[in-house]
Structure formats: C-alpha cells, structure tokens
Structure 1
Amino acid sequence: MMQSIAKNSLRTITMAAALSGAAACVSAPQEIASNGSAPEALRGYYAQLERATDLPRMTTPALDSSRAITRFAFGSCNHQQRSQDAWPVIGSFDPQLFLAIGDNVYADVGYRGAADLSTFVDAYRLQAGHAEFANFVGAVPTFATWDDHDFGPNDSGGSFFAKEWSETIFENFWASNDRVRSRPGVYDSFTAGPAGQRVQFIILDTRFFRTDLTEYPYQEERRPLGGYAFASNPGDSMLGAEQWRWLEQELAKPADLRIVVSSIQVLTEAHHFESWATMQLERQRLLQMLGNRAASGMILLSGDRHSGAFYRHRPEGMDEEFREFTSSSLNLAFVSDDADAREPDPRRSSPMITEENFGLLDIDWSARRVAMRLMDDEGQEIVGETYSF
C-alpha cells in the first residue's frame, strides 16, 4: 500500500557492501541473479547468518482449545516506530486470542535489496522492545500471518528473492509452531471449542507463493485507486498448489463456525490496489471452495487497506452471501473525510472508517450469532454488524 522501494523484476540484486551488527563478519555474495535460483544460491550464506544474528523471539500463551471461543480480536498495519497504545486497549476487552493479520511491522522501511534483510531484523527488534506489545503478546494467545511490509518490499509476492530468509525471521519472531516451520510459507489453522461450539481458524499466506500482479495502466480520468488490473490469467496463483490442497482439506474438517483470514481483501472490486480481485480466476476458485466447505458458518477477515469496513457479496450461481470484516490500521491511519465518496462500493455494507481501529468479535453460541465491532484506539465502537449462522 505504500510507495514501492524495490523492484522484484530486476535481473540482478546488488547487496549491501557492509552488514551491520553480528552479521558483519559473515561474507555475503555481492550480486545474486534474481532468476529463481537466488534462494538456493543464498542458503549457505543464510545458514551462517542465522547462527550469527540474534533475532528477537516473542512467546505467547497456549490457547485452551477445550474452551468455547466467545470473544477474540484482530488487527493489521502496525508500525514499529509509532505509538503502541492500542495493545493495552485491546487487552482490556480480555479477548481469548488475537489475530495479527499482516503488516505487523513495516520492516521494508529503508530496505534497498540487501540479502541479510537487516531492516527486517531491526524492525522486529524495535517492536519487541515496546512494553505495551510485549505485555499483550505475553498475556493473550497471538497468531500471525504476514502482508507485504513484513514479508518483503511493497506489494511483493513469490518472486521476492529473499522470501525464505524473510520467513525464517518471521517464524523466529513469532515463535511459530512446528506445523508452520515444517513447510514453505506461514499459513496455518487450528480449531477450538467442544462439539457444537467449534471454531476453526484458517490463516492464509497470500505472499509466499503469489505470482506477479498485472499492472493496470494509469488513466487520467480514473480516480487514483491503485495500479493493478482485474486479470484472468490462467497461470496466476495466489496461494500456490500446496496451500490450495491444504485449504481444501481444512475446509472438509468439522466446524460450527470458520474464521478465514486473508491479509488482503477478498470480496470488493471497488479499487485496484492489491486484493483477490486482481486474480479473478483465483478468487472464483476460493469462493467456490469456501462455498463447498463442510457445513458451518463462516466469516472472512482482512486488513491491508488502512481503513475498516464490512462487506457482503453473493457470487453469481451461489446460494450463500459471504461476509467480510476488514480492520486496518492499528497505528498508521490514512484519515480521509471523503473515503465513501472516493471509493463507492455496492458490496460494502458500512461506512469506510479511516481512523485507527481494531476488530472485536463476540460469539453468542445460544443464539448462533456473532457481534462484529470495529473499535477505535480508545476502545469505543465505531460501527458494528451481526452475523447469524
């Protein structure tokens, strides 16, 4: 969402001449061809760098999966150099878990293509040093996926040459479980609650495997709402073959309510920034797969946009109306007085909120109803909706 600072399409990536801190004694290749072989060429270098670099590591309480989930929270777009006041506010609502769904730090600030991703390590170190954040993660079970700014450069995807090292940094910081560490990418799922009150959380990775987006040529008469086309290229992939297979298997498992997390928006077509709409065939595949899931309620959660809102959409030929709840950002708001007028959207069922916000969801199992609330940074409800399942 922010100005690009590196081009993944460059054939050659020039490395930083000097590495900072403990990594300085490790000899790095000065040039790596960005042609698909870069990760393999760099693995030996990273094996040394991992031993020499002291990465921050957050630990979080284990979730009691035997208890019914009645309240949880989520958020996105948290800048490590800005106020962290949101964390104690979220904690005051006593959520049973928190979903950090992308841009959890802005690690690419100042990044210039160095293979060691030193700005990423620096960003995580700074974030870990905030007592408000550390205390929150230490008290509330926290689960994370990434978006572009904690994965690589702005709008980057699977062609990012250093994605494997970025994954190592991410998994070390978030103390990822063995499921996540055992495979490429950071996707995961887990289920909590007894039979009849089971919530399955499916956390997607929309970065590690994603093919490059199709650019949308600038048109002067069009509002400046992003630069990517709504493409229908057969070779496009958002999740990669293995994650697609995994997702289909997860959706076949028994659950009463499913929470599906995508770092980028799924339902809207009101802008040309990053979203599932930029890969029309992939989004169609996703919605069909979600529609064919084992019987359950379902809510989509997303972030990325530096705005919050609720969305509804019934795809053509499907009986179900999908519901999506977008929350962004925790501390990096792009406040606008004309967001609704700038981005008219028949699929958006609420005003577009650009102030800092987080999402709070309360599940009433007896009524089979979820209260979804977008909260401001002082803990006041801005807008809310209910979902019955």
Structure 2
Amino acid sequence: MRLPLLLAAVGTAAIASIAPLSANPEVELAAEDMLAPYYAKLERELDLPVAPAGAGLAEDTVLTRIGVGSCNHQSRSQHMWAKIAAADPQLFLFIGDNNYGDNGWEGDAALGSLRAAYAKQAETPELATFRKAVPMMAAWDDHDYGFNDAGASFTPRRWSETLFETFWGSTEEVRSRPGIYDSRIVGEEGRRTQIILLDTRFFRSDLEAMPYSETRPPLGPYVPSTDPDKTMLGEQQWKWLEAELAKPANFRIVASSIQVLTDAHDYEAWENLPLERAKLYRLLAGREESGLVLLSGDRHAGGIYTDTPDETGGEQLWELTSSSLNLAFNNTASNTAREPDPKRLTDFISEENFGLVDIDWAGRTFTMTLRGNQGEERVSRTVSW
C-alpha cells in the first residue's frame, strides 16, 4: 500500500512503524506533512522533558579550555560528569549520542523511547550538578536523533528536532530553521573563538551499503558514494556554514558528530560521501583566517588525527575524536590493532574518555587531549596555528 493510502487507512496517530519509510525525498516530505498536525497536538498535550538548568557563557569569555564528549547512555554510570568538571572546562560540547533514545523503540510515531530517555536524563543528579557549573552546547548523532545510522529519510525527524530543542533549550535562531546546527562566537578582540556545531543527521542522504554477505564486514557496512545528488549537510546548512566561516574569529572549533578525516573504516563518516567532504575541506580552506580544530565522536573510541587534503591548499587539518563517556566496547590494544590508520597519530583509546582543547593565545598553539575515566591523560598533541 502506498504511504498516503496507508496514512489515510490507519490515521496518523495510529502509525505503528514509522522507521525510515522510503529513500524518496518526495514521499518523506509527504509523510512529514501528514504527521505535522499529530505532532503539533503532542506538543500541546505532552509535558516534554527539559534538561536541568545550565550555566550561561558570557559573550566576552576568552576561552582557554573547552571540553568535549559523546556517547552517553542515560541508564549507565554518570560518573564521568564529575571527572570532566574536575578538569575545569569553561564550556562543554556534547556532540552526539547524548542519550540512547532508540533503545527499545517500537516504531511508534511519538518516539516514546526517545522521550523516556530525555526524561531520565532530566532527573540525572550528576548531569544537573555539572550543568550548574559548566556551560554546554549540544548537537545530536543517530541514537539521540532516533534511529541507528538515520539521516533525512527518518520520517519523525521534525518531532525528534522538537524534543531535542526543547530539552537542550536551543536558541530561537536554531528553533527557527530545520535541523539543529548552531554557532557562537565569544571572546574579545584578538582572542575570539567560534564554535560551530554541524548537524550531520537531519539533511543527510541515505548511505550506500555493501552487498549482503554471510560474513559481517569487520569495520562497517558502507561504501563511499560519488553521487553528486547526495548530501551530508543539505543546501541550507551548507550556505549557513559558508557564511559562518566568513565571520571574523581568531580560533574556530568545528564539531561533527561523525568522523571527518579518516578513511580507515566503513562505518558512518564523511568518507561515505567524498564529494561532500571535499566541499567541506574547500570551505574550511577558504575561511576567514583563524586557527582551526575539528571535533568528532560516535566511534566508542577516541584518538587524534591529522591530514593535509588536496582541497586545503597545503593546510594541515587536525581532528580530536572523543567517545565514549560511559559505553566502551573494546580495550585500546585490540581496537588499535583492529583499525590501523595512518591518519591517526595515537592509540585508539577505547576505554571511557572525554576530550579537552586548550588554547594558548600568547603562544598561538592549541592542545588536544583525551582523558580517561579517572581524569588521567591518555593522549595529547600540541599544534601551532
């Protein structure tokens, strides 16, 4: 049965399976439009979860230490918040899989499991204590977007966006447009930092998967696509990013929920859409002059990466991947051996970790560090800019 007939037959509120229904954007748009009244009714009637009150970040704050982390399951130990706070960051970037709201999802259009995950986070005392002390900016990845590896074809994405923006208290600017991408510049003349949080979910085209095999691929199921119609950020976000990179700033932090530089695996990463990654590199190279570091998460392991892509005209790029806060899958030795990567300069830190970026304004250097679950330093690199 075609989607419009299905919706007419069962009613929008009774949809039982609302996972990605089609790779056809026109069908997805039709589904979203049909669901809009249902979600408007839910928003009026439900008491949506809201994060514990957070500290503010003054516009004139000269940032010298920024924390970053990802992959935090709401039902597991939350002890890492105290470890991060003890490192005394002035700002924390929570860059995806901030909860695992897709766990237990039964396909309901109301995204009940995602709402429950947010509700549990709202009552997390460790998070509440942390947010009182440390300002925070947030972006999402797939598990707090609502469906594993989901992109633009995730039909309830607008409702998921409402849940995210309500919980994290997104600005009116973010709420006014599709997607949750965000940017902020703070500091004083000569010491201004721009923080850019990309949305790699809401607009992203479906990825191309490997053919079926009885033997599961050891490092992911996806193959790169050079289809020029596929997008990572969507036209509107690309235009926004170009405008943001043209703003005057002395140092820029660009956060992507998925990894940017690496080609060493076939899970989700910018390597899945190489034309889009090349476009990103060209935009970064053409930015208003500034220092730059890339941040990413997603992998349940972390490390420090570098590359000098052709598109950057000889500029060396640096990326700090920090993951996870409480959902480690392997140990560092086995994971490092499992995924050799010439672009990764460090071991692949697989135990719980969080990241720090320290900016030395006088020396014009920045230092990328991963700290472990006791707050100890695991890897670090200092770069001049």
Do the two structures share a fold, i.e. TM-score over 0.5? yes
Structure 2 counterpart of 1:230: 224
- Residues 103 and 14 of structure 1: CA distance in aligned 2, closer, same or farther (over 3 Å): farther
- Residues 125 and 221 of structure 1: CA distance in aligned 2, closer, same or farther (over 3 Å): closer
How many Å separate the matches in 2 of 1:281 and 1:158? 18
Among 35, 48, 58, the alignment partner of 2:41 is 48
How many residue pairs are counted as aligned between the two chains?
Answer: 370
Matches within 5 A, 1:246-325: 246-316=240-310, 318-325=313-320
How many Å separate the matches in 1 of 2:65 and 2:338? 33
How many Å separate the matches in 2 of 1:14 and 1:128? 36
Structure 1 counterpart of 2:365: 369
Matched-pair identity in %: 51
Could you say what secondary structure the match of 1:286 adopts?
helix
Structure 2 counterpart of 1:110: 104
How many Å separate the matches in 1 of 2:63 and 2:226? 38
Q: CA deviation at 1:27?
A: 8.2
* Deviation per residue, 1:319-374 (Å, 9 max, x gap): 10110000000000012332122111111111110000000121111111112110
Larger helix share, 1 or 2: 2
Structure 2 counterpart of 1:214: 208
How many Å separate the matches in 1 of 2:61 and 2:327? 34
* Aligned residues of 1:268 and 1:347 also touching (Cα < 8 A): yes
* Aligned residues of 1:56 and 1:172 also touching (Cα < 8 A): yes
Among 67, 74, 77, the alignment partner of 1:73 is 67
Q: CA deviation at 1:139?
A: 2.1
Structure 2 counterpart of 1:22: none
How many Å separate the matches in 2 of 1:30 and 1:191? 42
- Residues 160 and 13 of structure 1: CA distance in aligned 2, closer, same or farther (over 3 Å): farther
Matches within 5 A, 1:38-187: 38-58=31-51, 59-187=53-181
How many Å separate the matches in 2 of 1:339 and 1:249? 39
* Aligned residues of 1:14 and 1:114 also touching (Cα < 8 A): no
- Residues 254 and 27 of structure 1: CA distance in aligned 2, closer, same or farther (over 3 Å): closer
For structure 1, which runs of at least 5 residues remain unmatched after alignment? 1-9, 16-25
Normalising by structure 2, what TM-score?
0.92
How many Å separate the matches in 2 of 1:13 and 1:199? 51
* Aligned residues of 2:73 and 2:100 also touching (Cα < 8 A): yes
Could you say what secondary structure the match of 1:198 adopts?
strand
- Residues 360 and 13 of structure 1: CA distance in aligned 2, closer, same or farther (over 3 Å): farther
How many Å separate the matches in 2 of 1:63 and 1:86? 22
Structure 2 counterpart of 1:18: none
Among 340, 347, 352, the alignment partner of 1:344 is 340
Question: Structure 1 stretches (4+) deviating beyond 4 angstroms?
Answer: 10-15, 31-34, 218-223
* Aligned residues of 2:12 and 2:34 also touching (Cα < 8 A): no
Q: CA deviation at 1:29?
A: 3.4
Compute the RMSD of aligned alpha carbons.
Answer: 2.0
